[in-house]
Amino acid sequence: MNVWMLGLTSLVTDISSEMVTSILPAYLIFARGISPSTFGVVDGLYQGGASVARLLSGLVTDRLRRYKEVAAVGYFASALSRVGLLLAGAAPAWLAAAVLLDRVGKGVRTAPRDALISLSAPRGGLGTAFGVHRTLDTIGATLGPLAAFGILWFTQRDYESVLVVSVVVALFGLAILLTFVTNPARPSTAAPPPSDTAAQMRLLENRPFRALAACACVLGAVTVSDSLIYLALQRQTGLQPVYFPLLYVATPAVYAIAAGPVGLLADRIGRQWVLAGGHMALALLYALLLLPSGAWLTGAGVIALLGVYYAATDGVLPALGSVTLPVASRATGLSVLGTAQDMGRLLASLGFGWLWSRGSVDGAVAAYLAALLVAVLLLLPTLRRLGFHTE
Amino acid sequence: MPPRRSPRPALVAFVLVTVVCVAGSVAFLVSRRQQAVARATPATSTSTASPSPRVDSVDGHRLLAAIRAQPHVYYRSVRPGEFGHVVVAALDAPDDRRVVSNLVCDRLDFGRQRGICLVANDGVAGPAARAMIVDLEFNVLAALPLAGTPIRTRLSPDEQVAAATVFVTGEHYDADFTTRTTLIDLRTLTSVADLEQFTAERDGRPFSRIDFNYWGVTFRSNSQRFFATLGYTGTRLLVEGSAEARALRVIRDNVECPSLSPDERLIVFKSRVPDSREWRLHVLEPEGGAEWAVAGETRNIDDQVEWLDAGQVLYQVLEERGLPEDALNVWKSPVAQGVSQPPVRFIRAASSPAVVRP
């Protein structure tokens, strides 16, 4: 119940946020008249803000043990940010503040939400629980742009309508969270809660968790971002840029469909093996980019493999993390895990761009294919040990 | 899982919130639609909001023919009541002798026979922006999907080729933004090339980076050749391109949004002020390489200029505050070397000017 309701909250919230994301450039540039380069600066902020907020929110959540409430603050901040966009006019500083507030809200809600999912499912069903949540979440992200286009069509292109409705939708998501999601019951035996600082310290001494965080970072460092994969696909096959938006829709669709079954599989055969398998799908994708056989075939392969990769990693990693983490440091641990993965991925994109600029697309892809295979091979014993720890 | 207390009050509150959300949203959207429909209804001649005739009225059609017999200018109006509509106006009275078309564009360029009109996605064609090729009656001859938010467009002087640049989000590397530029063949009404697929060379050597972006094409009179901006992290270069050879050559540093004068003697472009996010208008002689700043215009200018005549350019300026109807105007400035004359507001509540001389 909790997992489904958290999934529904995410679905509704993602409709709201993707509604805004899909119209924001056009709204700011054409309805408000700001210059494209100013928009570039504002849009850049979308990237950085979330990480710090996520780590802090993890710490606060574990200290208070109020998962639902901390998550609610994050959801509310994002709703508020859209009011900010409506009121900001063309002043870049205010626009930037509104965009930053949205990112901070997203950072704040991630850790308590994932911790709550993990606390609401039986140990043996964690993969499935995260899979269900990610499916619902991704469906919302797909519906958002459609809702925005529907509103633009209906109101004869009134961008403010999209923003106003997105605020309402975001508040509705918050209402679902507040009404139907419950915090886990605290152990009724009045044992004194363990000292929080001590719990955080133990996080660093927790060997399985440390190993998993290292795995997440290393595997992240061989994972090239979607946009670079699509760019490589275009260079390798000459795919017309017009089809780019299609890639951004089709990949989440595969992800949404696969996330549930893959989560179930993870609970059956061991989450660590599904994580490894997901990275093998990524390796296949890199190989496909090296042997292009026509834009459509390669494109379809890239979409399918990337969708499967996300299904096998995005929910499976926190599921795996949850079993290595005691309840007292669950939210903190999951936020550290996510940040480790993000740091790895940032490194991957920088390295890939560097190789591409100094050599060729082929060279960069081949190097990452080799690095990915070596990384998975080297991490297999670690992943196997993680499996023992988390049985 | 049995709840510990009766969920009823919370549930009732939730149902209420849901009903209010849904009903409120629907009511709001319907009222906004009605407002939009009211705005789109042609205003009567007594209305002060939009005193100019519409192109589909008898008066409008007659005025349009008269305007087109003389030098005229197309532009995107941001006046209330005609926001986003293409306006055709006499060059000697662009705020007064004008006709409002039913075509809505975000960026446009027009020639003697045809025009190109870029529209950000507006829900009409689903999730796509589009480039529309239109004739002089504003009929859409073709609509091509675009992969992002439109920012620049140009028609070649012989009206054979057009270029459209869009701004793509969600595709960041470590550059500040990503663009895509497409060349459209107006004879076949198809998109023929993406500039990123052309080969680029610098100092005679091939030159390639992952974060290459092209924008701001300006055509020579031979439409197969053009100038454009090649940008990547921290660098902006002027390139000259050939559509036949599918090749580009780097010519100069720190040049953005070039605009070639009709006689091809000068290029006006925006030049980044070091260590800032501002640009000033500069002028370049492509033959010879002399460069100077447009002395009279000292504001931050972010536009690809349009040539009014051999010595003056038009461009949009957004004032710091206010709604576009008050703050977004087209200005005029002389560009000759040694001339320091303050710019003059040329069209109010407008952007994307396109000058046509019959």
Angstrom distances, CA of residue A228 to CA of A218, A224, A365, B20:
19, 7, 10, 43
Quick one: A160 and A267 in the same domain?
no
Cα–Cα distance measured from residue B268 to residue B266, given in angstroms and rounded to the nearest whole number = 7
pLDDT at residue A295, as a whole number: 79
Whether residue A289 is contained in a domain is answered as: yes
Residue B29 has its nearest CB partner, among A155, A228, A238, at: A155
* Interchain proximity A35–B302, CB inside 8 Å: yes
Yes or no: say if A318 and A333 are a contact pair by the CB < 8 Å rule.
no
Q: What distance in Å separates residue A203's CA from the closest CA in chain B?
A: 31
* Interface contact A151, partner B, CB < 8 A: yes
Yes or no: say if B73 and B356 are a contact pair by the CB < 8 Å rule.
yes
Yes or no: say if B123 and A151 are a contact pair by the CB < 8 Å rule.
yes
CATH topology of domain B105-347: Neuraminidase (2.120.10)
Quick one: A166 and A207 in the same domain?
no
Q: Which residue has the higher pLDDT, B74 or A343?
A: B74
* Interface contact B59, partner A, CB < 8 A: no
User: Cβ atoms within 10 A of the Cβ of B280, count?
Assistant: 17
pLDDT at residue A49, as a whole number: 67
pLDDT at residue B175, as a whole number: 45
Yes or no: say if A203 and A212 are a contact pair by the CB < 8 Å rule.
no
Yes or no: say if A26 and A156 are a contact pair by the CB < 8 Å rule.
no
> What average pLDDT does the segment B69-84 reach?
93
Quick one: A19 and A141 in the same domain?
yes
Quick one: A174 and A247 in the same domain?
no
Quick one: A203 and A173 in the same domain?
no
What is the chain B residue with the closest CA to A148?
A: B123
Whether residue A59 is contained in a domain is answered as: yes
> What average pLDDT does the segment B144-151 reach?
88
Structurally, how many domains does chain A consist of? 2
Residue B45 predicted with pLDDT over 50: no
Whether residue A186 is contained in a domain is answered as: no
Q: Look up residue A181 and give its amino acid.
A: V
**Of A108, A103, A101, which Cα lies nearest the Cα of A48?**
A103
Q: What distance in Å separates residue A389's CA from the closest CA in chain B?
A: 30
pLDDT at residue B44, as a whole number: 46
Whose structure tokens read 């000259």? B240
What CATH number has the domain bearing residue A263?
A: 1.20.1250.20
Whether residue A8 is contained in a domain is answered as: yes
Which 112-171 residues of chain B touch chain A by CB within 8 A? 120-124, 126-129, 144-149, 151, 167-171
pLDDT tens, B294-316?
999 999 998 999 999 999 999 99
Yes or no: say if A322 and A118 are a contact pair by the CB < 8 Å rule.
yes
pLDDT tens, B161-198?
999 999 876 544 444 568 889 999 999 999 888 898 89
Of A180, A214, A235, which one is at a domain's C-terminal end?
Answer: A180
pLDDT at residue A194, as a whole number: 52
Residue B57 predicted with pLDDT over 50: yes
Quick one: A171 and A206 in the same domain?
no
pLDDT at residue A315, as a whole number: 93
Quick one: A175 and A204 in the same domain?
no
Note down the domain range covering A93: 2-180
**Using only C-alpha atoms, what is the Rg of chain B?**
23
pLDDT at residue A240, as a whole number: 74
**Of A225, A216, A220, A232, which Cα lies nearest the Cα of A364?**
A232
> What average pLDDT does the segment B133-149 reach?
92
Yes or no: say if A344 and A216 are a contact pair by the CB < 8 Å rule.
yes
Whether residue A267 is contained in a domain is answered as: yes
CA triple B229-B127-B80, angle to 5 deg: 80
Residue B36 has its nearest CB partner, among A38, A40, A155, at: A155
> What average pLDDT does the segment B101-115 reach?
95
Whether residue A279 is contained in a domain is answered as: yes
Collapse the DSSP code of B67 into the 3-class scheme (helix H, G, I; strand E, B; otherwise coil) and give the result: helix
ipTM: 0.80
* Interchain proximity B24–A242, CB inside 8 Å: no
Q: What is the mean pLDDT of chain B?
A: 88
Quick one: A155 and A264 in the same domain?
no
Longest Cα–Cα distance in chain B: 85
* Interface contact A87, partner B, CB < 8 A: no
Q: Look up residue B188 and give its amino acid.
A: T
pLDDT at residue A192, as a whole number: 46
**Of A230, A148, A285, A142, which Cα lies nearest the Cα of B180?**
A230
* Interface contact B191, partner A, CB < 8 A: yes
Q: Collect all residues of chain B within an 8 Å Cβ-Cβ radius of residue A145.
A: 127
Would strands B199-202 and B247-253 be described as parallel, antiparallel, or unpaired?
Answer: parallel
User: Cβ atoms within 10 A of the Cβ of B30, count?
Assistant: 12
Quick one: A150 and A258 in the same domain?
no
Of A149, A180, A211, which one is at a domain's C-terminal end?
Answer: A180
pLDDT at residue A201, as a whole number: 62
* Interface contact A172, partner B, CB < 8 A: yes
* Interchain proximity A22–B324, CB inside 8 Å: no
Yes or no: say if B186 and B161 are a contact pair by the CB < 8 Å rule.
yes
* Interface contact A94, partner B, CB < 8 A: no
Cα–Cα distance measured from residue B312 to residue B296, given in angstroms and rounded to the nearest whole number = 12
pLDDT at residue B125, as a whole number: 63
* Interchain proximity A356–B209, CB inside 8 Å: yes
pLDDT at residue B260, as a whole number: 97
> What token pair was written down for B307?
């040539």
Q: What percent of chain B has pLDDT over 90?
A: 63
Residue B52 predicted with pLDDT over 80: yes
* Interchain proximity A168–B318, CB inside 8 Å: no
> What token pair was written down for A313?
């990693």
Residues in chain A predicted with pLDDT less than 70, given as ranges, are: 40-49, 89-90, 186-201, 241, 389-391
Q: What distance in Å separates residue A128's CA from the closest CA in chain B?
A: 19
Quick one: A259 and A157 in the same domain?
no
* Interchain proximity B169–A26, CB inside 8 Å: no
Whether residue A187 is contained in a domain is answered as: no
Number of A–B residue contacts, CB under 8 Å:
191
> What secondary structure letter does DSSP report for B327?
H
> What secondary structure letter does DSSP report for A294?
-
Q: Which residue has the higher pLDDT, B239 or B46?
A: B239
pLDDT at residue A307, as a whole number: 96
